[in-house]
Structure 1
């Protein structure tokens, strides 16, 4: 009996020792955790402060540099606009100089076309002559359309409107004059030849008239 009580006391003592050891271990763990948290919090605060400081420094730098960058941009834009204006004026002068030479150039071209007609080989048959006159009319009509296109770029809108009306009246006059000239040979083999030959001659005259009176 006495031995049993002694054994029981030993067991209780062991249990108390184990419980005490567990309690101390738990307290040490909590203490360590508490000690770690302030350090971590301090590190976060330090990082946060550093980040805020960095952000403030960046904003400060941007604020200090902003006026200078803006001024540079405005100056560059002004220089670009100045260069563009210079290029526009240069282009305008070039166009003006080119336009001033167009009248002489077209007169020379028309003279060369007329000289070519005079030096063309004379055809002997009516069909060949009619074909030749048709080709001559085609060339002069092409030149007329080209001249009219140049005038549309040179003249003001009201002048173009007036010229367009004159051109409509001229086309009507050309065809009526060609018809009247061909009636002299009505029923003959040269009727159609006279018609296209008159169209060619009148178109040539109109080319000279437009260049002399309207082209600059």
Structure 2
């Protein structure tokens, strides 16, 4: 009887130990659950969506191919317009500078050419006979007249229509003046051997002077 009583007490003790153990386990489980619950709820926003998922969706929306493509096109158009504007501005400046340099070079070129021709005339050998001097003056007149035509051709490209019309009329009057002046100069030797020589020599001198006038007054 005494042994049975001890056995019963031992069984009750074991049962209590087991129950206590189960109770502690349940409390730990509840405590852990409660501790984890705020963390879990903190990962959700007011709409019940996970911030991580929301962030991913936002990133996906922000970086959608359609939006990105449209942005790139707009950027390219802006860049193209800026490039085109800069290109046109650069081209305009280059063109203006180029025209100015060409004009300046033409003027300097012809002034140098006229100076060389004049120097060549002055350094030419002096002829002794009237016929030789007349041939020399005819050649001089021919060279200056050729250069005058070249200058006139350049001015056609540089001057406006109105300016060219005015120059054309002026040039006609000058030709008449040249021939009349040469005629008057030759009449001083009318009937003499130097009459024709004076005529062509005057034509040559007046044509040289006209070349300088056109370059100085019309070539800009």
Same fold? TM cut 0.5: yes
Shift of 1:83: 6.1
* 1:190 has 2:183 as partner: no
Task: State the partner residue of 2:184.
Answer: 180
Task: State the partner residue of 1:31.
Answer: none
Structure that is richer in helix per residue: 1
Count of residues in Structure 1 that have an aligned counterpart in Structure 2: 155
Task: State the partner residue of 1:135.
Answer: 139
3-state DSSP of counterpart to 1:149: helix
Runs of 4+ aligned residues of structure 1 deviating over 3 Å after TM superposition are: 78-92
Task: State the partner residue of 1:170.
Answer: 174
* 1:123 has 2:115 as partner: no
Task: State the partner residue of 2:114.
Answer: 110
Q: Deviations over 1:87-129 (max 9, x none)?
A: 5753453232111232222212111111100000001111110
Alignment TM-score, normalising by the size of structure 2: 0.59
Q: Deviations over 1:137-187 (max 9, x none)?
A: 011111111111111111121111111100000000000111111111111
3-state DSSP of counterpart to 2:188: helix
Alignment of 1:196-215 (within 5 A): 196-215=200-219
Alignment TM-score, normalising by the size of structure 1: 0.60
CA distance in 2 between partners of 1:178 and 1:109 (Å): 25
- Identify unmatched segments of 5+ residues in structure 2: 1-75
Across the aligned residues of Structure 1 and Structure 2, the Cα RMSD in angstroms comes to 2.9
Task: State the partner residue of 1:97.
Answer: 101
Question: Larger Cα Rg: Structure 1 or Structure 2?
Answer: 2
